[in-house]
Amino acid sequence: MIVVSNTTPLIGLASIDRFDLLRRIFSEIIIAQAVYDEAVVAGREVGGAKREVMAAGWIKTVHVKDRLAVEVLLDELDLGEAETIVLARELTADWVLMDEKKGRRKLTQLGLQKIGTVGILLKAKQVGLITELRPELDLLRERGFGVSQGVIDAVFRQANE
Q: What tens digit of pLDDT does each residue of 10-36 get?
A: 999 999 999 999 999 999 999 999 999
Q: Is residue 132 part of a domain?
A: no
Q: Is residue 23 part of a domain?
A: yes
Q: Is residue 144 part of a domain?
A: no
Q: How far apart, in Å, do the first and last CA atoms of the chain sit?
A: 30
Q: Tell me what the pLDDT averaged over the chain comes to.
A: 92
User: What is the tens place of the pLDDT at every residue in 89-134?
Assistant: 999 999 999 999 999 999 999 999 999 999 999 999 999 999 999 9
CATH number of the domain encompassing residue 72:
3.40.50.1010
Count of structural domains, the chain: 1
Residue 60 and residue 31 in contact, taking contact as beta carbons nearer than 8 Å: yes
The Cα–Cα gap between 37 and 39 comes to: 6
Is 46 a residue whose pLDDT tops 70? Answer: no
Whole-angstrom Cα Rg for the chain:
15
Q: Is residue 48 part of a domain?
A: yes
Q: Is residue 71 part of a domain?
A: yes
Is 47 a residue whose pLDDT tops 90? Answer: no
Cα angle 31, 99, 91; round to 5: 35
Cα angle 33, 114, 22; round to 5: 65
For residue 41, the model assigns a pLDDT of 83
Structural domain of residue 101, as residue ranges?
A: 3-116
Q: Is residue 143 part of a domain?
A: no
Nearest by Cα to 20 from 5, 10, 33? 10
Q: Is residue 102 part of a domain?
A: yes
Buried b (16+ CB within 10 A) or exposed e, 54-80: eebeebeebebeeeebbeebeeebbbb
For residue 45, the model assigns a pLDDT of 54
